[in-house]
Amino acid sequence: MDIVYIRELEIRTIIGIYDWEREQKQVVSISLEMGANIKLGAENDSIEKALDYKAVAKRLIQFVEGSEFFLIETLAEKIAEIVLNEFNVPWLKLQLGKPGAVTGSKDVGVIIERRLN
């Protein structure tokens, strides 16, 4: 299986458990590896036969910007569901970070792997 990836896609959203986090958008950072067979797209030199990473990114931006979750774990699961179901990706590895959430750290977050059932 080949991998198509997106690294450090930064999106502003409402995320967090504290009152101030519910009032102002914060940046989350998404890195995503998606299982794909790139051979068909390469053979035809056609985006219609490839996993369109721009379409994935646009969909995630639209979803995340409009979302409001308390936990990054919940946001990570919802992102995984969208990618697996809407883009017919059989496997993904997602890293979702919340830069600056812990004083002294560059980033905190979760890494999940999911498969299409």
| Active-site choice (25, 54, 58, 98) | 98
Is 49 labeled as catalytic in the residue annotation?
Answer: no
Are 12 and 2 in contact by the 8 Å Cβ rule? The answer is no
- Show the tokens assigned to 16: 């967090």
Rounded Cα–Cα distance for residues 59 and 30 (Å): 13
- Which residue from 79, 34, 67, 66 is spatially nearest to 52, judged by alpha carbons? 34
Q: What is the set of active-site residues?
A: 98
